[in-house]
A and B are shown apart, each in its own frame.
Chain A
Amino acid sequence: MESERLSKLLKDQPSQNTSKDMVAKVYWPEQSHESEPAILTKVQAIAEKNPDVKGHIPEMVWFHKFDETSTASIRKILGIGKPDRGSHALCIIVFRKLAPITTLSGKDLLKGWWHVVVCRYSCFLHVIIH
């Protein structure tokens, strides 16, 4: 499937990742939890200041929440008690495509794993200091 709009969004987003492909996740997150885009924005802010993090986090291309699908509204209409408790809504999130690290071996594998180790330690220090 191809989307002109998404391809344009991808093209306009500078990246070190040479892949031109995207992946979409369709899911029903719990609405009381902080959303994935909100977390990614925070991680992105750390990345802007930290070269160990930059380039080592997923790149979101697009996100949409279908508010009308909220199970809270459905429960409200049906008159089921506590409609907001543990409510979920349908979301779509699109990322620039990545490959599983398990496809690598030897030094490529060790390097890829090490990037994650260093990135996490940097995030960890950031959280401790701030």
Chain B
Amino acid sequence: MSTGHRILWMNGILHMDISPSNFMVYKNANNEWIGVLNDYDLSSTEQDSPSGNKRRGTIPFMAIDLLEDEAIEGKVQPLYQHDAESLIWVLAWVCLRYEDGKLRRNRPLNGWLKADAKQCREKKTYFLLVERRKAQPSPSHKAVWDVAQSCLVHVCSLYLAHRKPTLEDEYVYSTWLEADVKPRLED
């Protein structure tokens, strides 16, 4: 992404605040639920961290790479792969935390909400490598958790690579998301 594109991104069309509270739906005339990404309010997405750095996004859903110190200091270029990772975290979060439209009583992953960037980076890395396999989705979300799991495996593979790869946007969209999700929409 060139500097110009980066600025446009910052300008809010692609606001970085990917969190479940911004994922909304409405019902259309055909009685279908339609998804909407809400909240283009820039003033609420640029939160000052104690160190005085501008952080974009809500920590529990940010890509692990963007929770590193250099990224928090603004030294890491935001890429589509980070965006895709956030979208996947949101899906996983909903599957594990909600049951039949309500927050589950044991509130899994609650610690992520209270963690700072460093703690959250550790918690999410551990989840990705270890806890993910044992995670119990709610009965109502079993099928969607299967989809989220296969998307998470792609995210995981990114962090296992010998060198930190920068992936083509189109590759990320088609292999991390489209390939695993699209067939499940048609079942």
Contacts and interface: CB of A to CB of B under 8 A. Distances in A.
Contact of B185 (A17, A98, A105, A107): A107
Nearest to A29: B43
A101 B36 CA distance: 9
Interface residues of B, number: 58
Interface of A: 16-19, 25, 27, 29-30, 33-34, 36, 39-40, 42-43, 46, 55-58, 96-117, 119-121, 123-128, 130
A96 B23 CA distance: 15
Contacts of B185: 107, 110-111, 114
Main DSSP-derived SS at the A contact region:
helix
A113 B11 contact: no
A43 B42 CA distance: 14
A125 to B, nearest CB: 8
Contacts of A99: 24-26
6 contacts: A17-B27, A39-B13, A55-B34, A58-B36, A116-B87, A117-B84
Contact of A105 (B23, B144, B181): B144
B20 interface: yes
